[in-house]
Amino acid sequence: AQSVTQLGSHVSVSEGALVLLRCNYSSSVPPYLFWYVQYPNQGLQLLLKYTTGATLVKGINGFEAEFKKSETSFHLTKPSAHMSDAAEYFCAVNAGKSTFGDGTTLTVKP
């Protein structure tokens, strides 16, 4: 069995501020972990992934995430938010098929 919990359905930051989107997972096997981004009226797009090896992974658009096994977490960060980052973000765990969290809507204020 596997599940994902995203803490905070809405996060609002100012442009230039740190972005932190939280994700905790459970999995009965070593997980693959993913973050996807969904812009309005578009499909989900892969942002970054963790499979094995280095626990800090970098993705597109300056985002990165750190896999912490002891905390069962895979939080997404970006040092400086840009207006174009406003979107919905989904964390997913995969052990065969992916299970998604309910998403976090990121708003970026000018």
Partner 1 sequence: DTGVSQDPRHKITKRGQNVTFRCDPISEHNRLYWYRQTLGQGPEFLTYFQNEAQLEKSRLLSDRFSAERPKGSFSTLEIQRTEQGDSAMYLCASSPWTGGYGYTFGSGTRLTVV
Neighbours of 98 (CB within 10 A): 15
- Cβ-in-10-Å burial (0-12, 13-18, 19+) of 102 comes to exposed
Indicate the residue type of 22: R
Name the residue nearer to partner 1 (CB basis): 15 or 105.
105
Write out the binding residues for partner 1, residues 69-88 only, by CB under 8 A.
none
Phi then psi dihedrals of residue 109, to 5 deg:
-90, 140
Query: If binding is defined by CB under 8 A, does position 65 make contact with partner 1?
Result: no
Query: If binding is defined by CB under 8 A, does position 45 make contact with partner 1?
Result: yes
Name the residue nearer to partner 1 (CB basis): 38 or 72.
38
Tokens 């997404």 belong to 76
Tokens 């919905």 belong to 88
To the nearest whole angstrom, how small is the minimum distance from the Cβ of residue 74 to partner 1? Answer: 13
In the complex, the residues that contact partner 1 under the rule CB under 8 A are 4, 6, 9, 32, 34, 36, 42-46, 49, 51, 90, 92, 94-103
